[in-house]
Amino acid sequence: MIFSSNRIFQLILIISSLGLIFYGYFYLPNQNKGSIRTETKEEVKIIQEIKNKSTFSNTEYLSTDREGRIYTTKSKESYVLQSQPDLIYLTDVYSYGKLKKDNSLVEIKSKNAIVNKKKNETIYKNQVTIVNKNYRINSNSAKHIEKKNLIIVDGNVIMQDLSQGLSHIIYADTLELDTLTNNAIVFMKSKDKKVLGKKFK
């Protein structure tokens, strides 16, 4: 069977066209997978959060309790989300104020904190340390409720009582510190567990 030169030429064109289509639509995309990239849902969420977030450095915030005493909170960095304007997120936090009973200083340090302007509360998280002249307290978290003059300390609480020249170490789940009287109450969440205390002279 003999093909004319025109038929051969047409056949070559068809084969070449099919080859180009395969090369362009199937082979190249597989060889260059990074040429076309779409953002994941998580990336879109992060981008939106950045757009909707106001960030500040070396900030200072003031709050007052029901007695009118001022508490100062400083942080290395803070940010506010447009969707949550009443919440201020802080990092590397240092708060301080004076107790009513004897005007002594109480200090709170933590890695992170959230200031709720509407509720007038501050929640401290990660490596929380509370210090005044009588106590040194370490815990996972703490909540300062200004309107109740109360600091609730929670999670692996270790309280060192330095009053009267003695050192008492108490281990508990939760501690409540009254910022008016400077009295501290410690307790366990489970009735089956007891507060553990050690005394050193």
pLDDT tens digits for range 97-123: 988 778 889 999 999 999 999 999 999
Distance, C-alpha 52 to centroid of its chain? 17
The reported pLDDT for the residue numbered 135 is: 85
Contact in structure between 184 and 175 (CB atoms under 8 Å): yes
Closest CA to 125 of 111, 144, 136: 111
How large a percentage of the chain has pLDDT more than 70?
Answer: 72
* Structure tokens that stand for 58 in this block: 């070396």
Distance CA 170, CA 136 (A): 11
In angstroms, rounded to a whole number, what is the distance separating the alpha carbons of residues 106 and 184?
Answer: 13
- Extract the runs of DSSP E, i.e. beta strands, from 41-83: 53-64, 70-81
**For residue 142, is pLDDT > 90?**
yes
Average of per-residue pLDDT values in the chain? 81
List the alpha helices (DSSP H) in the chain: 5-22, 28-31, 41-51
In angstroms, the CA 184 to CA 178 distance is: 6
Q: CB-based burial of residue 74 (10 Å sphere; 0-12 exposed, 13-18 middle, 19+ buried)?
A: middle
- Which residue would you say has higher pLDDT here, 130 or 200? 130
Task: Indicate if the pLDDT at residue 152 is higher than 60.
Answer: yes
